[in-house]
Amino acid sequence: MALPINIEDLLNKRKVESNRIEFKTGWNPDKIYHTVCAFATDLENTGGGYILVGVEEENGVAKRPVKGLNEKEIDDILKDMVGYDAKIEPAYMTKASPEIVDGKPILVIWVPSGLNRPYSVMESVVAKKSTPKFYVRSKSSTIEAKGEILDQVRALANRVPFDERGNEVIKIDDISGVLVYDHLKTVKSKLAENFISRPLIEILDEMDLLTGPQENRLIKNVAAMMFCEHPEKFFPVTQVDIVIFPEGSIENPDLMIEAPRITGPVPKMIKDALSYLRTNVIKKKIAKPSDREESDKTFNYPYQAFEECISNALYHRDYQEREPVEITVEPTHVDILSYAGPDRSISSDAIKAAKKLKARRYRNRRLGDFLKELNLT
């Protein structure tokens, strides 16, 4: 199967957090399957991870040119993986893609976060008899889950983020093949190469956007968020509302400018909202100093701040809430309101301190992966 992301982005640790990528110089089934188990369990809800076999690590990055594997070795590994996958409980199938890098074959194992977490795997997948154990990621390493961490792992059962859940209402005709193809071309995925000759449902399956048994495959919510022209059909009031109060919402609430409602797939909503703010809110002042030729340019708001805030508002919003993302432009500031507010794992004290905010759970981890691939977050 082809990867849903460009291989160079993985090698250079772009668009995917470094703790979700692991380089392996050679094939070590026990260690690799411990990491597979950890990525599938995904204790931090970051979206699983990638294991690149045949790539040596040097100071945290891939050493180039890569060491590589020989083609026969890759064939043998793929055959062995069928049996090793069977040693994961509950049932889980890894996704493997042979790739050519620096003229040499390597193997990329894509491990999306599983729907039936937590997962255990035999301590030794090559031994005839072994003990099943749970594993998790700790920073950029894989460790065995013990004590309190093991309790957290077991508590993951039946707790699937909303964007990863299957939705029986979403049909294949609701998904735009044009949007899927444009995304794959943008991120330079090999899935775009033979896109036209294949059924869209097969492409979605390889992108890990389907769930459920073969006789009843369901499309995940995130597919509609990303690739449906009208996701509000499934998630009511999925939209961005922008209101400008030239004199202030308290001082003169009757004087307002309402922007046209912004709807569509999430990337389009982000781009349309940013386009409106850049045209109607961001202002530039040019001052010509008397002592030099260059002019001084000053902006009332940095565009990058709006880009980060609006992307995060749509990334982390609760799509089960029937409320829009609200952007209110006042004379002195801009308010961006995204329901249902911060995750409960972030304390009020942490918000007031405003130093480091880290949620233990992502509301829409897979949606975040797509937005990162597009450089929107």
Residue-by-residue DSSP string for 208-273? T-EES-GGG-EEEHHHHHHH-S-GGGTSTT--EEEEE-TT-TTT-TT--EEPPPB-SSHHHHHHHH
User: So what's the pLDDT on residue 360?
Assistant: 56
Mean pLDDT of 251-266: 96
Cα atoms in the Cβ-side hemisphere of radius 13 Å centred on 221 = 19
Compute the C-alpha angle 3/180/362, nearest 5°. Answer: 70
CB 96 within 8 A of CB 81: yes
How far apart CA 281 and CA 226 sit, in angstroms, is 27
Query: Which residues are within 8 A (CB) of 317 and not within 5 positions of it... i.e. 6 or more apart?
Result: 325, 338, 339, 340, 363, 364
Question: What are 345's two structure tokens?
Answer: 């794992």
CA 307 to chain centroid, in Å, comes to 17
Nearest to 9 by CA among 159, 110, 84: 110
Nearest to 8 by CA among 102, 140, 111, 141: 102
The model's confidence at residue 361, banded by pLDDT at 50, 70 and 90, is low
The model's confidence at residue 32, banded by pLDDT at 50, 70 and 90, is very high
User: So what's the pLDDT on residue 172?
Assistant: 96
pLDDT at 139 over 80: yes
How far apart CA 66 and CA 63 sit, in angstroms, is 6
How far apart CA 299 and CA 321 sit, in angstroms, is 35
Q: Structure pTM? A: 0.74
Compute the mean pLDDT over every residue in the chain, rounded to the nearest whole number. Answer: 91
The burial of 296, by beta-carbon neighbours within 10 Å (0-12 exposed, 13-18 middle, 19 or more buried), is given as: exposed
The enclosing H or E element of 370 equals: helix 365-373
pLDDT at 359 over 70: no
Least confident span in 100-114, 143-157, 271-285: 143-157
User: So what's the pLDDT on residue 215?
Assistant: 65
How far apart CA 136 and CA 143 sit, in angstroms, is 6
User: So what's the pLDDT on residue 158?
Assistant: 60
Omega of the bond prior to 90 within 30 degrees of 0, cis? Answer: yes
Residues in the chain: 377
Maximal CA-CA distance, the chain: 82
State percent of the chain over pLDDT 70. Answer: 97
Strands, E assignment, the chain: 21-24, 49-53, 57-58, 61-62, 88-89, 95-101, 104-111, 120-122, 132-138, 141-144, 166-167, 210-211, 218-220, 240-244, 257-258, 284-287, 296-299, 325-329, 334-337
User: So what's the pLDDT on residue 4?
Assistant: 84
Q: What are phi and psi of 3, to 5 degrees?
A: -80, 150
The model's confidence at residue 294, banded by pLDDT at 50, 70 and 90, is confident
Question: What are 273's two structure tokens?
Answer: 């909202």
The model's confidence at residue 115, banded by pLDDT at 50, 70 and 90, is confident
pLDDT at 256 over 70: yes
User: So what's the pLDDT on residue 14?
Assistant: 87
How far apart CA 116 and CA 119 sit, in angstroms, is 8
pLDDT at 63 over 90: yes
Compute the C-alpha angle 25/102/56, nearest 5°. Answer: 15
Question: What are 48's two structure tokens?
Answer: 């699983």
User: So what's the pLDDT on residue 295?
Assistant: 86
Q: What DSSP letter does each residue of 320-332 carry, written as one string?
A: TS---EEEEE-SS
User: So what's the pLDDT on residue 356?
Assistant: 74
pLDDT at 333 over 60: yes
The burial of 95, by beta-carbon neighbours within 10 Å (0-12 exposed, 13-18 middle, 19 or more buried), is given as: middle
Nearest to 49 by CA among 133, 129, 135, 130: 135
Place of tokens 């073969």: 214
- Bridge partners for 243 per DSSP: 258, 328
User: So what's the pLDDT on residue 116?
Assistant: 82
